[in-house]
A = this chain, B = another copy of it.
């Protein structure tokens, strides 16, 4: 298993407690989730109908502001799992460091994978992957620069899993172009990662091919119903954007007080240089607050935003304690 955020099993094993004792800030999942509400019984009992799925697709096109074909999948991760099979294996270039699932998934399907540090170095690849804004450092790329790359690679995948909080960075409106695929996550911004819902936005041929791979019923009835409600609720999304931006600054203040410096981030997570991430993670873990560290970057610690005021109080106490 790759190291991921959200591995509270490991936190409990290393530092004790039950999962429910912990504040899990090891992911970028919003801890003030969209309200699940009541579900009609047929969301559970019947196979998702074509009409239900099309209604969800329309909601996604509206929320993401795109006229392009859209496919609902069981999380952005499900789209990543399908990418290696969209074309015969060739040369893939991934703008790194980034989300650690792309490289092994492509390698396992016989792709030759190179991680590059500069955006323009993806040119010439059969498949290029750019996470925008990037995880874990929040790096953002210019839309024009990304669009220019579509003619210099076989296919470019823009992973916008963290773009809901920063809609201006999104290429969704251009997703119908040949050679461009945009991935979106529902679970992170809407705080419902257990629902398993994400979207691929792309041109007709790619979306048709991905749909054939996903099969007729790739997502649950609950994902269809809650996803549709959430995506159409513009007021909730706008209020959440405002709240996350303000709370990200609040977390940065606490981190500064602990002597950490901001490396980057998005409104859903912050990346700090702590000097010694193992020690910083342990300091938080003693207060049952779980964080994400990175083997290749010994000072980096990534934190999601606390949810309610009880959580903020615990985080503030842990970061001010010496």
Identify the A interface with B (CB < 8 A).
1-2, 4-9, 19-20, 24, 27, 29, 31, 33, 36, 42-51, 74-75, 77-78, 80-81, 85, 101, 105, 108, 187, 191-196, 212-223
Contacts and interface: CB of A to CB of B under 8 A. Distances in A.
A193 B74 contact: no
Contacts of A196: 74, 217-220
Given A29-B45, A47-B193, 6 more contacts: A9-B49, A42-B194, A81-B213, A108-B212, A193-B217, A222-B222
A220 B218 contact: no
A193 B218 CA distance: 12
A81 B215 contact: yes
A9 to B, nearest CB: 5
A218 to B, nearest CB: 7
A214 B77 CA distance: 9
A42 B19 contact: yes
A193 to B, nearest CB: 5
Contacts of A36: 44
B85 A4 contact: no
B46 A218 contact: no
A45 B35 CA distance: 10
Given A50-B9, A194-B222, A216 B1 contact: yes
Number of copies of this kind of chain in the complex? 2
A195 B41 CA distance: 11
B29 A46 contact: yes
A77 B194 contact: no
Contacts of A78: 215, 218
A75 B217 contact: yes
A127 B124 CA distance: 37
Given A81-B213, A192-B44, A215-B78, A19 B220 contact: no
Nearest to A50: B9
A214 B192 CA distance: 20
Contacts of A20: 42
A80 B8 CA distance: 32
B47 A194 contact: yes
Contacts of A215: 77-78, 80-81, 101, 105
A8 B49 contact: yes
Contacts of A85: 85
B27 A77 contact: no
